[in-house]
Structure 1
C-alpha cells in the first residue's frame, strides 16, 4: 500500500491527531510572524499557546478576503521572501488581488493534494494527464500540472485556448485524464463534434477533473454523454492553496477534503456559529501545515455542507457537498434573496433547455430586473415560435413559484451565448449606478 493510500484510509481519530498537531504549530506560527494575526488574536482574547483540542479553534477570530487584500502584497507572509518559491494571485476582479505564496514544501503539498484526484480517477503513471486550465497567476494550470507530475503521469501542459489543437492532441496522444473548467470541456466536446470527430470513440478519456466554476448535475450528465468519461469536481482557492483542497472520487458522492492539510468548518454565514454535519452553511478553512501563507479560519464565502458518514469508496477523509453557491453572489431581486444556483435548479427540470445560460441584471424604472437567457437544445424546432413562447412562460411560472420573485426568460438559439476558454461568466450586471 502506498503512503498516499495509507493517508487516505487513515482512521479518522488518527487523522484528527495530525490536524491537532498541525493546528497548534500554525496558530503559534501566525501569531509570532504575521502582525495581523497577533492583533486579531489579542483583540478576540484568543491565546494560541493554549490550544489543546480541535474545538479550541472555534475561539479564534475569522479572517476574510478583505483582510488578505489589505495585507497586499506580502503582509500575510509567515516566512522571509527568500524562502518563497512561487506566487499566485486571485483575479482581483472585485478589488485588489489576494496573494498566495508557496515554499518548496507548500508546492509539494499542492502537487500531492491534486494527485489524490488523479488517484480517485483510478489514475497512475500509465496515464496521460492533459492540462488545459490556464497557466500563470491563476492556480488552475500549475496546480493540475504539479498533481500530474506527483501522480507520475505523463503530463501535457496545453494551457487554455487553441481548441482545435487541443482536440488534435486529445485524439492522437492518448490523453486519459483532462483537467480544465467544465465549460471549456463542453466547448472542446462541441467543437470536436462540429469538426466531424466523435469524442466517444476517437478520444481516450476516462475522467475529467473539472473545477473553478459551478456546474449542475445536468451539465455533468451532458459532458459525460458527449465525452464518454467520468466528471470529477475539484475545489480549491488561491487563499488556501489552489485546486486540490477537496476532490470527488468515482463515487461522485461529495468531494473528499485533504484533511491532513486542512481543517474545515461549516458556519451560519449570518451568526458565525458552527453548524453540525449535514447542514448547509459557509465553508471556513484553516491550513495546518502551510509555511508561506497559512490561514486560520478563512471565510471562503462558499456554501456547502459536511456530508455525514464515510464514502462508499472506503476513504476516511470527510466530504463536502458540491457547492450550492456563494454568500457574495446572492442576488437581491425586489427584496428577495436569489442565488444563481436556484435559477439553474429550475432550468434543469426542462429537458428542451441546454446547460448554456447567462443571467443579466438590468434596471428599469429604478427597479432591478433579472433576465435569464438560455440556449435551447439543438434538436428543438426553433421555428416554432408558439412552442418557444409557451416554454418561456412555463419556465417563468416555475421560477416564480420556486423563488417567490419574477424572472424574465429569453430562450435563444444554440451557440449564441459566448463560450469561454477559462471560467464561464454566468452573471452579467448591467444595472445603473
Structure 2
C-alpha cells in the first residue's frame, strides 16, 4: 500500500520508542488536568495516595484506578468534565441501557482531533476525496453518525447524511446519488442486502465499493456474507462514546486487525475478573486511557469489550498496535452451565451452515436452577417448509455443530424467514430472561 493511503504518517508509522515517549508526555499532561479539574479523579487518586507526579513511566499506569460506567452515572451529567461548560461545543451521550445515559463533551480542539482520527481509519479502508459516503447511522446523541460525517469531510469526500432506517429510500439514494461508501452497522448492511434481493436489484448495478461497519461485534463469516451480497470491501472499526466515539481503531485494506490510535489512547488488556494487566497477545477486557481529550478525559476506562492486541507492524506500513475483532462484551457474555459463551461464536457456526439465514437470536431462560440456551434461527423457506423428517435432521445437525463449538448444549428453534425483528441500528442478539 502506498504512503498516499495513510492519512497521518507521522503518527501512524511512528517507531515504538518515539510513540511510547509521546504517550508518556501526553499521559502526564492528562493526569495533571484531571487531578486539578475532575473531583471524581481527585478523590480516586487521593484514596490511593497517588499524585500525578508519581507516574513516571507507562508501567506506572497500572497503579492508577479504573474508571467505570458507574463513575459516569454517579457524576451525571457534567461531573466528569475537565473544562468549564462554556468551552464545550458539543454534547453527546451513549444509549443508557440502564438508567440515565452517560454524557460526554467535546471542545473545538476535541472535535478537530476526532475528525482526524476518523479520517485515519476511513483512509485506511480506502475512502478518498473522490468518494460519496452514505451514512446510515442514526443522527442524534449517538456519536457514530457525526464521527464518520466529520471524518469524511476532513478527507474531502462528499457526505450524504442519510441517517438510519427507511431502507428503500437508502437504496434509491445509493442508485441516484451513486454512493461509493456505505457507513452503518453490519447487521443493517445485511438488511439492505435483503431488501435489494426483494426488489430484484443486482448489487453490481450500484456504485458501492466499500463499507465501513461498526457499532456491534461481527464475525469474519458475516464479513464474507456482506462482501458477497453487496459486492463491496467491508472493514471493521471500533470506538465508544465514553472515550471519543468512532476513531479509536479501524482496519486497513489488509483486514488483519484494527489499527489502534495509540498516540491518542493507551490500550491495556486486563483479566476482567481480577483487573490484572495481561501480557501482550492475551485475550481479555480492553481498558483505554485518553491522551488528547480536553473536555472529557478518561483514565483507564473499562470498556467491557473482549479482544486482544497484536504489536507486529502491518504490511500497510503502519506501526500502531492492532486490535482483533471484539469477541463480545465481558458483561454481555453469557455463562451457560459454567461455560463462557459469546454471540459471535454462535454466529460463526451458523454462517457455515447452508440454509441458515444471517438472522438469529439467543434466548436464555432459567428452568429451576438450570440455565437453558435457546437459539432461534431463521432458515430459508425451502428448509422451513420441508417435510418433518428432513427438518428434524437439519435441526439435529445444527445442534451438534453448536455443541461442538461451544462445549455446551443449546436448544435450536427454526423460525420462518423475516420473523426475527429487524433493527435499523444495532441488532438485538441476546434476550436474557433470567434477570426478569
TM-score category, normalised to shorter length: over 0.9
Task: Give 1:205 deviation, angstroms.
Answer: 1.2
Is the contact made by 2:384 and 2:415 (CA closer than 8 Å) also made in structure 1? no
What is residue 425 of structure 1 aligned with on the other side?
428
Equivalent position to 1:163, from 162, 167, 190: 167
TM-fit CA distance, 1:379: 6.0
90, 95, 101: which one aligns with 1:97:
101
1:59 aligned partner: 63
Cα distance per residue 1:287-313 (max 9 Å; x no partner):
001001100100111000011311111
TM-score for both structures, normalised by structure 1: 0.95
Is the 8 Å Cα contact of residues 363 and 432 (structure 1) preserved in structure 2? no
Conserved in 1, the CA contact under 8 Å of 2:135 and 2:163?
Answer: yes
Cα distance, 1:85–1:366 mapped onto 2, change above 3 Å? same
Alignment of 1:309-324 (within 5 A): 309-324=312-327
Deviates more, 1:73-82 or 1:371-380: 371-380
Query: Cα–Cα, structure 1 residues 432 and 301, in superposed 2: closer, same or farther, change >3 Å?
Result: closer
The alignment status of 1:213 with 2:213, answered yes or no, reads: no
Measure how far apart 1:155 and its partner are.
Answer: 0.6
Name the stretch that deviates more: 225-234 or 348-357: 348-357
Counterparts of 1:3 and 1:119 in 2: how far apart (Å)?
6
Residues 2-41 of structure 1: matches in 2 within 5 Å? 4-41=8-45
Q: What is the alpha-carbon distance in structure 2 between the residues aligned to residue 346 and residue 380 of structure 1?
A: 18
Q: CA shift at 1:378, angstroms? A: 5.7
Structure 2 match to 1:111: 115
Q: 1:233 aligns with which of 229, 236, 245?
A: 236
Partner of 1:376: 379
Q: Which of 126, 142, 150 is the matching residue for 2:146?
A: 142
Match of 1:263 among 263, 266, 277: 266
The one of 278, 282, 286 equivalent to 1:283 is: 286
Instruction: Give 1:3 shift.
Output: 6.6
- Contact conserved, 1:117 with 1:209, CA < 8 A, in 2? no
- Say which SS state the counterpart of residue 328 (structure 1) adopts: coil
1:330 to 333, 347, 350: 333
Choose from 394, 399, 402 the match for 2:402. 399
Query: Per-residue CA shift, 1:300-336, capped at 9, x if unaligned?
Result: 1100001131111111111010001111012232344
Corresponding residue for residue 415 of structure 1: 418
Aligned-partner SS, 1:144:
helix
Residues 98-118 of structure 1, C-alpha deviation per residue, up to 9 Å, x if partnerless? 111111111111111111122
SS of equivalent to 2:378: strand
- Matched residue, 2:157: 153
The answer (yes or no) to whether the contact 1:218–1:355 under 8 Å persists in 2 is no
1:62/1:21 CA distance change after superposition, 3 Å: same
1:84 aligns with 2:88: yes
SS at match of 2:242: coil
Moved more, 5-14 or 90-99: 5-14
Deviations 1:13-53 (A, max 9, x none): 22222211110100111011001101111212322123222
Compare 206-215 and 383-392 and name the one that shifted more.
383-392
**Which residue pairs with 1:362 in the alignment?**
365
1:365: how far off? 4.1
Displacement, 1:141?
0.9
Mapped to 2, the partners of 1:229 and 1:88 lie a distance apart of 31
Distance 1:240 1:7 in 2: 19
The equivalent residue for 1:70 is 74
Q: CA RMSD in A?
A: 1.7
Q: Once the two structures are superposed, what CA deviation does each residue of 1:248-276 show, in whole Å capped at 9, x if it has no partner?
A: 11111000011111110111112211112
SS at structure 1 position matched to 2:431: strand
- Paired with 2:364 and 2:196, the residues of 1 have a C-alpha distance of 33
- Aligned residue in 2 for 1:125: 129
- What is the rounded CA distance, in whole Å, between the counterparts of 1:3 and 1:210 in structure 2? 19
Q: Take 2:177 and 2:384, find their aligned partners in 1: how far apart are those partners? A: 38
The 1:379–1:217 alpha-carbon spacing in structure 2 relative to 1, beyond 3 Å, is farther
Gaps of 5+ in 2: none
In 1, are the aligned partners of 2:286 and 2:302 still within 8 Å (CA)? Answer: yes
